[in-house]
Amino acid sequence: MHNSASAGPPAKPRVGSSQVSEASLKRKRGVFQKDLQHMMYGFGDDPNPLPETVSLVEDIVVEYITDMVHKAQNIASKRGRLLTEDFLYLVRKDPPKLHRCTELLSMHEELKLARKAFDVNEETLATAD
Amino acid sequence: MEAPPPPQPAASAEQPAPAAASSQPPEPTQTPSPSPSPSPAPDPAQPPPVSAPPPPSAAPSAAQNPPQLQPQSLPPSQSQPPPPQQQSQPQQPIQQPRPPLVRNRPPAPFPHFSHHLPSSAPPSSSTSASASASASSAAPAPSPSAASQRGGLAIGVPAHSSHLPRAQQPVATYSSIGASPAFNQPFTPLPRMTEQSSAANAQVRQPIQGIQNIGMIGSLSTTTQIRPGGVTGPPQQRLVQPTSRAASPSTNQTLGSQKFPNSGLIRGPSMVSSGSISSVPQQSLVSSQGKQMPASSSSFRPQAKPNVLQQRPHSLQQTQQPPSAASHQQQIPTSQQQQQQKQQQFQMQLQQQQQQPQFHQQHSSPRQTQEYYNQQNLQLRNQQQLLQQQPARPLGPATTKPNPPTLVQTNVAQPAVTHPVVGTDAAESGDHILGKRSLRELVSQIDPSEKLDSEVEDVLVEIAEDFVESVATFACSLAKHRKSTTLEAKDILLHVERNWNMMLPGYGGDEIKCYKKQFTNDIHKERLAVIKKSMAATGDAANPKNASGGPAAASSKSHAQKAPPIGSPKA
């Protein structure tokens, strides 16, 4: 869980955004469009929200993630590598967010264990057979 | 153009308004010869303003003539041989004779005249008599060429200059008007203007500060002075708006061409005087000036005429209101009076006139709040000088303008006003950025039962105007720093994000903010590494002693190692 590799979802967007920004300085529009529409519907919006609304929300999301990553990098540069803990440290003052983050990370670990156990079972069954 | 103006001023100078018209014919023969010759040489600034107001001021300048004659008669015309003829000029739109007369009149009893006389004295008199807008506009056209040397008065100046002689209160306006002529022209230094305007300003200091500051801007170099008057500027700008509206649209265009932010302010004060004449009842200026110059209002250009008709009842109302209004208003300085009067007038107008168009436009205003900045930014480049007053003009109809509330108000307030005037006034109406109605709508969005005091509303409106002005100014300087001639959204975004700590999503464009890696010195890195090593080496076993010794040793090592690192960068 402390490894950057296990960081998973939190680390992925960070790496992706930083690489993209350095490479092209261009931001693709509509990266989160499909997912955001469903999420907005889940939070009470229309099942088919306006494209302008979706693009605005996407701008907000991307700006938020970019800002978080920059701050996390500032903190992590002293230590060296960027870790999941840096992001948790940044949201420490926001209890709902912090709780949600820890919950997602713990669920991620559990799923990983479950998958591992499932594969082991499969193997034992296969070998048994 | 010079021929008609000279005869007129000469004629008017000799006789009062009624006689001016009659005197004009006899004098043309006399004045044309002397006037044309000196006219080109004298202040070019004066002719333009004179030309603009001359036609309109001819008829209604009756009341203005006597006061104008006095100041003019006092100082003898230096440059022009026919002083008596010139003296009568103020009433008439004689461009050429006026400039010399104006200059000679510093000691005039009316200080405000002296400063604006040089530039606008002839025009002022003529403005009062502004018979027709077309004539006035035509007059300034030829005169600008002559007046280009001096940066003379803008077309707008004459409009208010006419009422200047009458109005005693708006002394400040006079100063502003005097200064405004200078600004109307491109960045042409106005030595005369500055001298006279400065002198006049000094005398006229008492009146509205904002106007004074603006008036002080006689020379472009003094534009910085406008800044201090920024706070008072907005109120005055509001006043100016109606006046600017009255000013011929051509003047606005000329101003627009100038990339001078202060010029916009300058026009404001000058416009203020004309504003009173203009039918913008909303602005208090009209009220204060309207009272004093009921006759002058009629003398304004045709555009102002319908406004005048409306203004007179408004002015009458206002005249009645101030006395009847709270006594505190009288105590308040003129600037505040004007503001309050303006508000009162505005409220009255709103009540009187249908509010349907207002609602329609005002509803759109909240929606446009977000887009407002962008629109303004994109258009501000051309409108810098005009600031809030004139952005609406080049934009045209109110719907496209970023100030829908103001447009709505002006439209509603003056349905009878000529449409071109309304269009120009829309931007210049009392509420530049934020109208009272839209302000109340915003408050209702926060709390439906909340009510704001009128003073609070005024302050909020002023704050909004100042905010927009400051943001626009800084964004323009950022754009300029970018070596670009276009104000773009990213300029505004950068300024607001860094200085106001406001994130505005949705306008960022396609660029991603690059991460700026924290810069650490090599020496610092080495020191940190040494410390880490020492701490690891001492470890748990070592205790405070080793730990303390470790860092000390590490620091000494780092010192020794400093030389090579220092040398490397240099190499």
Q: What is the pLDDT of residues B473-507, one digit of tens each?
A: 999 999 999 999 999 999 999 999 999 998 888 88
CA-based Rg of chain A, rounded to a whole angstrom? 18
Decide if A70 and B511 are in contact by the 8 Å CB cutoff: no
Dihedral sign computed on CA atoms, order B547, B550, B555, B561: negative
Residues in chain A closer than 8 A to B503 (CB atoms): 63
Q: What amino acid occupies position B275? A: G
Q: Report the alpha-carbon distance of residue B291 to residue B300 in Å, rounded.
A: 15
Q: Alpha helices of chain A — where are they, by DSSP H? A: 4-7, 11-24, 33-42, 51-79, 84-90, 95-128
Decide if B512 and A59 are in contact by the 8 Å CB cutoff: no
Straight-line distance from the first to the last Cα atom of chain B, in angstroms, rounded to the nearest whole number: 74
Residue of A nearest to B510 (CA): A27
Residue of B nearest to A72 (CA): B515
Average per-residue pLDDT in chain B? 53
What angle do helix axes B304-324 and B284-292 make, rounded to 10 degrees? 90
pLDDT score for A123: 83
Angle at B73 between CA B71 and CA B75, to 5 degrees: 80
Task: Look up residue B89 and give its DSSP letter.
Answer: G
Q: What is the pLDDT of residues A68-116, one digit of tens each?
A: 999 999 888 878 889 999 999 999 999 999 999 999 999 999 999 999 9
Q: Report the alpha-carbon distance of residue B63 to residue B58 in Å, rounded.
A: 11
Q: Higher pLDDT residue, A25 or B75?
A: A25
Neighbours of A19 (CB within 10 A): 10
Write phi, then psi, for A52 (nearest 5 degrees).
-65, -40
CA of residue B137 relative to chain centroid, distance: 20
pTM: 0.38
Neighbours of B40 (CB within 10 A): 15
Q: What is the pLDDT of residues A26-63, one digit of tens each?
A: 777 888 999 999 999 999 999 999 999 999 999 999 88
Decide if A26 and B511 are in contact by the 8 Å CB cutoff: yes
Task: Give percent of chain B above pLDDT 90.
Answer: 12
Residues in chain A closer than 8 A to B508 (CB atoms): 59, 63
